[in-house]
Structures are given as C-alpha cells and as structure tokens.
C-alpha cells in the first residue's frame, strides 16, 4: 500500500515538474518570437526609411531641373537680407531658391519626425547641405525672419543643418 502511495506522489510531482517545464518553455518561446518580431519590424522600418530617402533623393538630386535650381543657388551671392531681396526680383532665381529651400525644409521635417535618419543625410548629402546653409542662408536668414515677421522661415532647413553638424561631430570620419 505504501508503494502505491509513493508512486502516486511521484506521478503528481513529475506532473507538476512537467507542467512547469512546459510553461517555462512556452514563455521562453513566446519571448523569442517577440524579439524576432521586433527585429523584423526594426529592419522593415530601416528599409522603409532608406526607400523613402532614395525616393526623395531621386526626385531632387537626380532630377535635372532640381540640379539646375541648385546650381543657380550656388551661383547666387547673398550675404545680407538686402541681397536676398535683390535676388528675389529675378523670377528664375526666386524659383530656384524656393525649390531648393523647400526641399531642405521638407527633408528637415522628415528628419525631425524620425522618418529619415540623419545618418542617411550625412552619408549622401553633407556637402550640399553645408554649402547651402553656410553659403546661402546662414548669413541673412535670421535678419530675414525678423524683417518678414516669419520666425520659422527656413527653420526646418536650419534644424537639418544643426542635426547634421551634431552627427558629424559624433562621427568625425564623415567630415567633409
């Protein structure tokens, strides 16, 4: 009789151990599945960011009309708000400034909202971004904001430039 009681207790103990082991394995498997799903989602996000960035880049830097506008901007001499107003009198110059400026405003928004990584901008567009901000906008935009009563004028392009400079400081191998 004693042996039957021991066997029954052993079966109950092994049943509890088996149930606990099954539960632990199920929880661990669910955790691995969550981790793999998270990694897949991160990879998908990175891929989408890269695709979006390349679409933006192709619609601008691979578009001859955009490149013409950008070239025209590089040729302009704007060192003050008065220079900016003078340049605005020429329709082609005004359109070129608007097209290039709005491209960088839009890209700044996408970087600010996390849709495009500043790393992508740094790897592909550091030179032009710096040349445009440092050589075209920086010298007069603050005065222009005040005089136009438009405090956010080119603010997203400025944000993009500032983020790019921070990123380059943290990654000196990307300095141009």
114-159, pLDDT tens digit by residue? 999 999 999 989 999 999 999 999 999 999 999 999 999 999 999 9
* Tens-digit pLDDT profile for residues 83-99: 999 999 999 999 999 99
Give the span between the Cα atoms of 157 and 146, in whole angstroms: 17
Lowest mean pLDDT among 1-10, 26-35, 65-74: 1-10
For tokens 């009309």, what's the residue?
Answer: 65
| Region label for 114, one of left (φ > 0), alpha (ψ between -120 and 50) or beta (otherwise) | left
Report the largest interatomic distance among the alpha carbons of the chain, rounded to a whole angstrom: 108
Given a cut of 70, is residue 1 above it in pLDDT?
Answer: no
Confidence band, pLDDT 50/70/90 cuts, at residue 10: confident
Q: What is the mean pLDDT of residues 150-172?
A: 96
């Amino acid at each position: 009789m004693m042996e039957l009681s021991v066997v029954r207790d052993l079966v109950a103990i092994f049943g509890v151990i088996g149930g606990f082991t099954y539960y632990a394995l199920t929880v661990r498997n669910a955790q691995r599945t969550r981790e793999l799903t998270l990694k897949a989602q991160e990879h998908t996000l990175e891929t989408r960011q890269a695709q979006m960035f390349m679409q933006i880049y192709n619609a601008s830097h691979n578009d001859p009309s955009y490149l013409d506008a950008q070239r025209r901007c590089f040729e302009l001499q704007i060192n003050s708000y008065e220079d900016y107003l003078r340049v605005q009198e020429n329709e082609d110059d005004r359109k070129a400034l608007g097209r290039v400026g709005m491209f960088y405003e839009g890209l700044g928004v996408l970087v600010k909202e996390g849709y495009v990584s500043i790393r992508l901008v740094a790897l592909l567009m550091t030179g032009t971004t710096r040349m445009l901000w440092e050589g075209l906008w920086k010298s007069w935009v603050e005065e222009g904001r005040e005089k136009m009563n438009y405090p956010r004028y080119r603010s997203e392009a400025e944000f993009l430039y500032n983020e790019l400079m921070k990123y380059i400081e943290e990654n000196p191998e990307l300095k141009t």
